[in-house]
Structure 1
Amino acid sequence: MKKLFTNLTFWVLTAITAGALLGHFVPDVAVKMQPIGTGFIDIVKLFINPIIFLTISLGISGMNDLKKVGRVGGKAILYFEIVTTLALILGVIVAHVIRPGEGIVTSAASTQNIDSYTQRAQDFSWLHFLKENITIQVLLFSILFGIVLSKIPSSKKIIDVLRSISKYVFKALHFVMIFAPVGAFGGMAFTIGKYGIDTLVPLAKLMATVYTTMGLFICVVLYLIMRWYKVNLWKFLKYIREELLIVLGTSSSEAGLPSLMEKLERMGCSKPVVGLVVPAGYSFNLDGTTIYLSMAVIFLAQAFGIELTLSQMFSIIGVLFITSKGAAGVTGSGFVVLASTLSAVKIIPVEGLALLLGVDRFMSEARALTNFIGNGVATVWLANNEKEFDRAKMHEAFGHVSYTENIIADNLGQPNPEQGSKKQNA
């Protein structure tokens, strides 16, 4: 029983359930819980850039071969392009087979105001993207800083200071993650209270199609990628289950990003690979978002009774291939990308975006989870490919009790479950 009460998975699941029940039965109160969910995400966001900076700087400064940095970066970009293209094509195929847009009433589409999304799509530029995406800026600066440190003979003191700061940053993160159930409760309560389960009924087929496709992508594509280097996807998902539940409750992959980076290191991925791949993937390896975008375009075409030719399909895939990368990391990027894609191909009415507004929030959980898992898989694959993966650490991480469980036990003054098991073995 004591172990149950120190298990973060148990508390996050309980919080998500409680939030959903509150949202369904007392929506007025549930909507007021939004600051709790967004507040937790905002606090976790404070850790993302410092952790990226410390992880990359320390990792690169300790590398003997700096050419490896460029090689890992190049492989990462190539991997992102190949896998997100597979996600894009999968979304198009499944949407064509299931046809979730057939029978949808489009008369209400023009009543919604989507001007802000189309305007943002028109105003988008790569310079704007770089200015708005702080994560990319920190990533680039950290790489340069790490290279400089590796070239300075007397940089040992600076590196020692950074390592000391890193320990305190992660200790602070562990303390914040104890309150993850509170953030998950606030996020789920607001979503159900604000939008209600009833809003899902008209577009239930689209919802089911999107979730099924993302499940298929994880169970087939990502499974085969992990199997390439004999890493068990299911054990990996169990290992990061706490982070997955936090992402589910908050509808934000950012909420689990710092913990994911730490856990990937603990399971054997080298610090430089984790530092380069995870932040870059957060902006360019959004498998879930890519699947959603491709299915949303086909859904709208079907809803408006537009039969797309093969050439039009290739045009849409080509435009999405570019636009899906452009707005990554920008708030409301899904609708911005859709607006820019529809404006570019000029086949489907942009007003159709209004049909998706009601259920977009409920699909954000699937997007966030798929993006999150996809970046973890990418890091594991690239670490293995670069021979920067410690399999002994992986087996140890997969076999031991939850690290967060130990942290909670320490903070509550209860016996550490891992220490207890060691005593029994002794």
Structure 2
Amino acid sequence: MPPTVPSPPRRVARILRTSLFAQVACALVLGVVVGRLWPGSAAAFQPLGDGFVRLVKAVISPLVFCVVVVGIARAGDLKAFGRIGLKALIWFEAASTAALLLGLVAANLVAPGSGMRVDPAGLNASALDRQTQGGSLPSATEFVLDALPNSFVGAFADNALLQVLVLACLVGAALLHLGHTKVPGILSAVEQAQEVVFTVVGFVMRLAPLAVFGATVHLIGQYGLGVMKTYGKLIVLCYAVAVLFLVLLAVALRLVSGLSLWKFVRYTREELLLALGTASSETVMPRMMQKLRRAGCRDDAVGLVLPTGYSFNLDGASIYLSIGTLFIAQAVGVDLSLGQQITVVLVLMLTSKGMAGVPGSAFLALSATAGSLGVIPAGAVALLLGVDRIMDSMRVTTNLLGNCVAVFAVSRWEGALDIERAKKVLDGETASVPEEAAGENPEVPVRAAREAAAEAG
């Protein structure tokens, strides 16, 4: 009996039912339409995105803790863990510096702010204060002290990732020191807790389309599409430089590990689209950790490099900060010398490291950079208020891919990457992934995959 071919409506329905990518893409398009037609509804839909981000943030700290503890204990070598951390910091500094320099070169060549002739005195400085909530970037000493927990529970309650990492390293080291015989069952309990957290992540991810819809309606409704006309040159330049940077990252990844960044993008398209729609890379951190582990990266490398990169490896933000600084200078008619531009790079290398978790951090970093030069009015930073939210998608996507490439590169450097497994997974040879791992993916459950195979004959 010939196999029954499903009708087009049934195929579409099945894709929408099983594919998170299709659900999020539809939510993104629908959000643009609703935000454009009914901009007054922007505030009403914002809680959808905010609530989803809260739910994901609730599981990030316990997940990072479990992955790192299990990774250290299973690897059985604390020195190797230290080497991974050192190599990650070296990679982070090289990548973020390259992003800063690329942004400066592009801004000099294109000059997106030239000809604007803006009077800084006419800018709304109070709006800038509201955006930054009167805060400031931490100094180097404050940054280091803030990474050290003063309470075990407080680190999790505050969702302070660096503090959670420190605690996880201490607990993992303690388990190695005591050995499995002295603390039987502890490691097994942590592994079971990890599986519970991953299952919770799967449940929460089913709400992703609603979150993307709400966030998109809010973005389009609040800012509209008119900002594209005013800042079109700046927006196009930032996104073009981000694409060029990702091409360079792809070349570096190919040289270091032989893996394809494009195949990784295809492998993680659901997560990337979700990060794009919600303008938050934190919403996909748990899923990215899961997929990087399935793609052959060792647990200790994933658990240390990816979360640390959220504070130390902000490649997209580096591109935006360097281009934004020159855009402001050009807009107010200030011609920065080569020495001043070198100062910009040096200042941003420091300020960009303390941005994570600080409200309005991009504006604080820009203000600090303008203040260090002494020739750009600090109030001129308010020029970027209207376009900052549009840049979130570029920053988030570039930051996320930059950190994932760092995981692969550092894992390969340390010998913590299963190259053959990585190539098979990125090539779509799902037979290499255990069925229980495939079942972790909430948008493609095993049962649905079997039904699709049966229908296809």
TM-score normalised by the chain length of structure 2: 0.87
Partner of 2:99: 87
The C-alpha deviation readout for 1:134-165, integer Å capped at 9, x for no partner, is 11100111111110011113233100111111
- Secondary structure of the 1:308 match is coil
Q: Aligned match of 2:37 in 21, 25, 30?
A: 25
Alignment of 1:114-129 (within 5 A): 114-115=128-129, 117=132, 119-121=134-136, 126-127=141-142
Deviation, 1:120, is 2.5
Deviation, 1:305, is 1.3
Please tell me whether residue 166 in structure 1 is matched to residue 194 in structure 2: yes
- CA distance in 2 between counterparts of 1:73 and 1:344 reads 31
Is the CA contact 1:34–1:187 (under 8 Å) kept in the aligned structure 2?
A: yes
Alignment of 1:339-350 (within 5 A): 339-350=367-378
- CA distance in 2 between counterparts of 1:421 and 1:406 reads 17
Partner of 2:308: 280
- CA distance in 1 between counterparts of 2:402 and 2:334 reads 32
Deviation, 1:404, is 7.8
Partner of 2:116: 104
- Residue 110 of structure 1 aligns with an amino acid whose one-letter code is L
Deviation, 1:119, is 4.8
- Secondary structure of the 1:407 match is coil
Please tell me whether residue 149 in structure 1 is matched to residue 149 in structure 2: no
- Secondary structure of the 1:392 match is helix
Structure 1 residue runs without a partner (length 5+): none
- CA distance in 1 between counterparts of 2:137 and 2:63 reads 34
- Secondary structure of the 1:316 match is helix
Change (3 A) 1:301 1:404: farther
Is the CA contact 1:8–1:405 (under 8 Å) kept in the aligned structure 2?
A: no
Please tell me whether residue 362 in structure 1 is matched to residue 390 in structure 2: yes
RMSD: 2.3
Partner of 1:39: 51
Alignment of 1:21-420 (within 5 A): 21-107=33-119, 109-113=122-126, 114-115=128-129, 117=132, 119-121=134-136, 126-127=141-142, 130-131=145-146, 134-153=160-179, 154-398=182-426, 399-400=428-429, 403=438, 407-408=442-443, 410=445, 415-417=447-449
Deviation, 1:421, is 4.4
Q: Percent identity?
A: 36
Change (3 A) 1:243 1:418: farther
Change (3 A) 1:404 1:16: farther
- CA distance in 1 between counterparts of 2:284 and 2:111 reads 33
- Residue 269 of structure 1 aligns with an amino acid whose one-letter code is C
- CA distance in 1 between counterparts of 2:439 and 2:313 reads 27
TM-score normalised by the chain length of structure 1: 0.93
Q: Which moved more, 1:379-388 or 1:392-401?
A: 392-401
- Secondary structure of the 2:123 match is helix
Structure 2 residue runs without a partner (length 5+): 1-10, 147-157, 431-436
- Residue 324 of structure 1 aligns with an amino acid whose one-letter code is S
- CA distance in 2 between counterparts of 1:262 and 1:130 reads 30
- CA distance in 2 between counterparts of 1:423 and 1:110 reads 62
Change (3 A) 1:299 1:403: farther
Is the CA contact 1:7–1:405 (under 8 Å) kept in the aligned structure 2?
A: no
